Each structure stands twice: as structure tokens, then as C-alpha cells.
């Protein structure tokens, strides 16, 4: 099936046509590791994860690179009162910039695990690619599209006519609307830094090119260096949050294409920011959630993942705690349908005669069609839930149960928000004491001692198991 994606560069849906048949290269702008990852960060990263999973589902071999920005990308000269993120965190906490970077990088990885992210094949740190950045900077200097001033190196935007195309910025207007202090050093206010010199900066390197001054890299150059290193000069897909479109990606295009002379990226994808309770998430409004905040409230990573993934990436997602409760209920519905199919497959529940072949085929087709059209997860989920309904109504055969489970396994493989296949659930699977309680409860029911029966049921429920009464007798299922 043809995969169509909305290319930000052309503002239209485009067919994914990999540079190499059967192989897709993806680069994702990753975290800047100066604070704890929040749910907004992970909306973007989960989008990248689902994209990778679906492209793989469609038979492509994917190579995925996500950078870790562990050196600051904001400089005093660029913004009035601005300060490097890493340096600012260091000043506030007393930790070194390096400690800050490693601490939050570790947090980021923990969140990836909690949210069931399939890890990118490479997650390079910017600080490990200073040499590679230097090679590009040197080349840009040689080509005359970058220039040095007091050790600082700037890219000369006027030398790259396509600058502004991705974000739709008209160059003349950028100056008028700029809210930055004029940097007298630059030839043009729009020029951006490739290399900065600042004696106060904790992270410093000797400039990796001849006659360069000791300093640190500008923000944008790391992505050019790392994507080129791992994926080559041209890549199929590049993603990021919508805020990255300008200036970051605009600058990436300029410096990379000036360096290689080739088109850098085929398809640019940008994830829309989420809102919380209808407004922009911010610490001052008290609607700011880190991933850890949500987990501490008792929601699972799976539930958070569902809540963040269920809306198509280009739509504004309104995140609410109620939405997490809905996610929990929705996952439980899928879980229940899968659990019954497992019981039938394992011979723990009577099988019927439905092979489910037609239902499986149409659910898969609808799911694929939805995902192929710019990753329409909402529509894909509708296909999943319609399939849940069909399965629940059917009397599946053992083969039907297997077929149904394979469909659910595929949906899980792509979306990752339903969890692994449930265990069958039977009295024999429960701890012995719960089996004893269940036997007591059955006896109480036979004696029509309803109060005692209900009390025993509550005790079993408190232990995390649910009693399901059937015509064949009670069954215990882990909740």
C-alpha cells in the first residue's frame, strides 16, 4: 500500500518513495537534555515511533536516528538575556553542564522504556560529533557561505536563496518581526551561528579546523553532522516538533545542502504541539506535566502512550487527565476481547465455528488504509474497535481465535498502546489463597449468603483479580 505523508516543505500529501527501494532512512530531532521530559516532548517522539513502526509494518527496512542535544544551542549574542540551556541548568543546580546532560539523558531513556518506544537504531550525542561538525563548518568556510568574526562562525543566509522555503518565511519580513538584539558582528541579522566562542562556557573544544578558535557548536549544525554520518547526505524522512520548523530545520537545510550540493530531506514531518486542558502547557498555568508526573498519578506508560498517540500527529491534541481515564477504559476493552480469544485458542473456553477470516481481512485493510493516509491513528483505532466488536459477537473457532489474535498482534506492533497478549486467565493461574477465597465465595453463593459472597469478591478484586461468572462456573482473570 502506498504511504502518503504530509510534507511540510510542499504543504501537501506526498507518496513515500525511498531513495533506496525497500529501505527508509529517518532522522528525528531528539531531546535537549537540560530538564525532565514532558508529555509534549513525547507526543513528538511517540509520533516518530509510530511512524517507524508503521513503515516497518509495510515491509520497509527502517534505519532510525535520533540525536541527543547535550550541548547548548542558545547563545548570549543571539537573544537578549538568553542563556545556554545546559549552562543555565548547571548554574541553578550546582551540577556541571556535563552532569546535567547525562542525568536528563538517562531520564529520557527511562521514559522511552516506560512508554514502550522501540528504540531508534542510533541515538548519538552532539558532544560526540564535534569533529564531524568541524568538517562541515570548515567546508562551508571554504565555500564562502560561512564567515568568521572574532572566532565565531556564521552561516551567511544570503548565500542560500532557498532559505525560508520550509517555514514559509519571507526573508525581508524576518528582520522586521525579529525580536532579537542586533548582533553587530553578523553581516546580516538572519545569519546563524555554526560555532561560538565564549570563555565562560563550560563545554568547550578546540575548533576542529585550521585557524579556528576554541568554542562550542551552534545548535543546528549537530543534526547535519549526525544525519550525514549515519544516513548519508540524503535522507527520506526528517521529523520534529512544529517549533523546529523555524529556525532549526530551515538552518539545517541551508547548511547541509550548501555543504553537499544535494537535496537533504525528501519529506519533512512536523508534529503539532499538544494542549493541556485547552491551553498551552506551561509551568505558570499549573498544567505542565512531565512523563514522571503522570506515572506518579498512577497511570501506566501504556495508558499515557495511548492518550498521546490516539490523535493524528498534525492535529492539535488536547491532553486531559480524563483522557487518560478514557485511555484506560479503551485499552481494557481491547484487552478483554483478546483475552477471550486466548482462552478459546488455549481450549479454556468452548470454541465456535467462526473463522473470522473476513473480519480479520477487512479490519487489517481498514487499519492499513487509515495509517497509510498520513498516519490517521484515530481512524485506525476505529478499525480496531470495530474489530473488537465483531470478535466479541462471534463464536470463534480455534483457528478463528488465532487469526483474530494475529490481527491484534499486528495492531499492537504498529501502535504499541494495547500491551502484550493477555494471559488466558483461569482459576488455576491464580495464587492458592485466591483460589481458596473463590471456593468460599462459590459456597456462599450456593448458600445464598449474598453479603458474604460479595465481600469475598471484593477481597479478590482488591488482590487484582476479577471474577467472571459463567454458565460453566466462575473464572478468575488478572485485571
Q: Which is nearer to RNA, 196 or 310 (CB)?
A: 310
User: How does strand 465-470 pair with strand 473-478?
Assistant: antiparallel
Which residues, 112 to 171, sit near RNA by CB under 7 A? Answer: 167-170
Which residue in the set 154, 219, 230, 299 belongs to the binding site for RNA (CB under 7 A)?
Answer: 219
Which burial class, exposed, middle or buried, applies to 339 when counting CB atoms under 10 A from its CB (0-12, 13-18, 19+)?
Answer: buried
Q: Which is nearer to RNA, 18 or 78 (CB)?
A: 78
Smallest distance, RNA to C-beta of residue 121, A: 20
Which residue in the set 164, 376, 403, 425 belongs to the binding site for RNA (CB under 7 A)?
Answer: 376
Stretch that binds RNA, among 94-102, 121-129, 135-143, 188-196 (CB under 7 A): 188-196
Smallest distance, RNA to C-beta of residue 138, A: 22
| Contact flag: residue 289 with RNA (CB under 7 A) | no
Smallest distance, RNA to C-beta of residue 451, A: 7
| Contact flag: residue 386 with RNA (CB under 7 A) | yes
Total chain residues near RNA (CB under 7 A) = 87
| Contact flag: residue 241 with RNA (CB under 7 A) | yes
| Contact flag: residue 265 with RNA (CB under 7 A) | no
Stretch that binds RNA, among 57-65, 75-83, 118-126, 205-213 (CB under 7 A): 75-83
Stretch that binds RNA, among 70-78, 355-363, 395-403, 432-440 (CB under 7 A): 70-78
| Contact flag: residue 274 with RNA (CB under 7 A) | yes
Q: What's the Cα-to-Cα distance from 48 to each of 38, 52, 317, 428, rounded to whole Å? A: 16, 6, 16, 41
Which residue in the set 149, 385, 399, 421 belongs to the binding site for RNA (CB under 7 A)?
Answer: 385
Smallest distance, RNA to C-beta of residue 211, A: 25
**C-alpha span between 400 and 421 (Å, rounded):** 16
What values do phi and psi take at 374, rounded to 5?
Answer: 60, 40
**C-alpha span between 124 and 258 (Å, rounded):** 23
| Contact flag: residue 8 with RNA (CB under 7 A) | no
Which residue in the set 281, 341, 434, 437 belongs to the binding site for RNA (CB under 7 A)?
Answer: 281
Contact 16, 290 (CB under 8 A): no
**C-alpha span between 197 and 137 (Å, rounded):** 14
- Binding characters for RNA, 346-375, by CB under 7 A (x = yes): ------------------------x--x--
- Binding characters for RNA, 309-348, by CB under 7 A (x = yes): -xxx--xxxx-x-xx-xx--xx-xx--xx-----------
What the block records as the C-alpha cell of 323 is 483522557
Through-space distance between the first and last CA atoms of the chain, rounded to whole angstroms: 37
| Contact flag: residue 67 with RNA (CB under 7 A) | no
Stretch that binds RNA, among 111-119, 209-217, 260-268, 272-280 (CB under 7 A): 272-280
Which residues, 192 to 211, sit near RNA by CB under 7 A? Answer: 192
Which residue in the set 74, 130, 146, 403 belongs to the binding site for RNA (CB under 7 A)?
Answer: 74
| Contact flag: residue 179 with RNA (CB under 7 A) | yes
Cell numbers 469478591 correspond to 457
| Contact flag: residue 293 with RNA (CB under 7 A) | no
Smallest distance, RNA to C-beta of residue 250, A: 10
| Contact flag: residue 382 with RNA (CB under 7 A) | yes
Contact 465, 479 (CB under 8 A): yes
Smallest distance, RNA to C-beta of residue 20, A: 27
Stretch that binds RNA, among 194-202, 224-232, 267-275, 296-304 (CB under 7 A): 267-275
Which residues, 76 to 115, sit near RNA by CB under 7 A? Answer: 78-79, 82, 85
Q: Which is nearer to RNA, 60 or 465 (CB)?
A: 465
Q: Which is nearer to RNA, 18 or 465 (CB)?
A: 465
| Contact flag: residue 17 with RNA (CB under 7 A) | no
- Binding characters for RNA, 416-435, by CB under 7 A (x = yes): --------------------
Which residues, 36 to 55, sit near RNA by CB under 7 A? Answer: 38, 40-41, 43-44
What values do phi and psi take at 63, rounded to 5?
Answer: -120, 125
Q: Which is nearer to RNA, 23 or 161 (CB)?
A: 161
Q: Which is nearer to RNA, 43 or 159 (CB)?
A: 43
Amino acid at each position: 500500500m502506498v504511504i502518503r505523508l504530509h510534507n511540510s516543505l510542499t504543504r501537501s500529501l506526498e507518496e513515500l518513495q525511498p531513495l533506496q527501494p525497500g529501505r527508509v532512512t529517518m532522522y528525528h530531532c531528539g531531546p535537549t537534555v537540560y530538564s525532565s521530559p514532558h508529555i509534549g516532548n513525547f507526543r513528538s517522539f511517540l509520533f516518530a515511533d509510530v511512524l517507524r513502526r508503521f513503515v516497518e509494518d509495510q515491509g520497509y527496512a527502517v534505519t532510525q536516528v535520533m540525536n541527543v542535544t547535550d550541548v547548548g544551542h542558545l547563545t548570549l549574542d543571539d537573544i537578549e538575556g538568553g542563556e545556554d540551556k545546559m549552562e543555565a541548568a548547571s548554574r541553578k543546580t550546582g551540577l556541571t553542564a556535563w552532569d546535567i546532560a547525562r542525568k536528563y539523558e538517562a531520564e529520557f531513556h527511562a521514559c522511552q522504556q516506560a512508554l514502550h518506544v522501540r528504540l531508534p537504531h542510533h541515538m548519538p550525542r552532539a558532544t560526540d560529533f564535534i569533529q564531524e561538525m568541524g568538517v562541515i563548518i570548515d567546508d562551508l568556510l571554504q565555500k564562502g557561505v560561512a564567515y568568521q568574526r572574532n572566532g565565531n562562525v556564521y552561516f551567511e543566509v544570503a548565500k542560500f536563496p532557498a532559505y525560508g522555503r520550509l517555514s514559509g518565511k519571507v526573508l525581508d519580513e524576518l528582520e522586521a518581526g525579529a525580536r532579537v538584539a542586533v548582533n553587530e558582528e553578523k553581516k546580516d541579522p538572519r545569519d546563524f551561528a555554526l560555532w561560538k566562542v565564549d570563555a565562560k562556557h563550560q563545554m568547550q573544544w578546540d575548533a576542529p579546523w585550521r585557524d579556528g578558535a576554541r568554542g562550542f557548536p551552534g545548535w543546528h549544525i549537530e543534526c547535519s553532522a549526525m544525519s550525514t554520518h549515519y544516513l548519508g547526505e540524503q535522507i527520506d524522512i526528517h521529523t520534529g516538533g512544529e517549533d523546529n520548523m523555524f529556525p532549526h530545520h530551515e538552518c539545517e537545510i541551508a547548511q547541509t545542502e550548501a555543504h553537499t550540493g544535494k537535496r537533504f530531506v525528501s519529506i519533512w514531518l512536523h508534529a503539532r504541539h499538544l494542549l493541556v486542558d485547552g491551553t498551552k502547557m506551561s509551568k505558570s498555568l499549573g498544567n505542565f506535566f512531565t512523563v514522571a508526573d503522570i506515572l506518579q498519578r498512577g497511570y501506566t506508560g501504556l495508558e499515557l502512550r495511548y492518550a498521546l498517540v490516539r490523535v493524528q500527529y498534525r492535529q492539535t491534541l488536547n491532553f486531559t487527565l480524563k483522557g487518560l481515564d478514557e485511555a484506560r477504559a479503551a485499552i481494557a476493552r481491547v484487552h478483554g476481547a483478546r483475552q477471550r480469544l486466548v482462552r478459546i485458542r488455549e481450549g479454556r473456553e468452548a470454541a465456535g465455528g467462526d473463522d473470522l477470516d473476513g473480519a480479520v481481512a477487512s479490519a487489517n485493510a481498514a487499519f492499513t488504509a487509515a495509517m497509510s493516509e498520513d498516519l490517521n491513528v484515530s481512524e485506525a483505532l476505529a478499525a480496531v474497535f470495530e474489530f473488537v466488536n465483531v470478535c466479541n459477537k462471534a463464536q470463534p473457532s480455534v483457528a478463528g481465535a488465532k487469526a483474530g489474535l494475529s490481527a491484534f498482534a499486528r495492531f499492537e506492533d504498529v501502535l504499541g498502546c494495547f500491551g502484550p497478549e493477555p494471559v488466558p486467565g483461569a482459576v488455576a493461574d491464580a495464587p492458592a489463597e485466591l483460589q481458596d477465597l473463590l471456593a468460599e465465595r462459590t459456597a456462599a453463593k450456593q448458600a445464598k449468603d449474598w453479603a458474604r459472597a460479595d465481600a469475598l469478591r471484593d477481597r479478590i478484586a482488591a488482590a487484582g483479580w476479577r471474577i467472571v461468572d459463567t454458565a460453566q462456573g466462575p473464572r478468575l482473570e488478572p485485571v
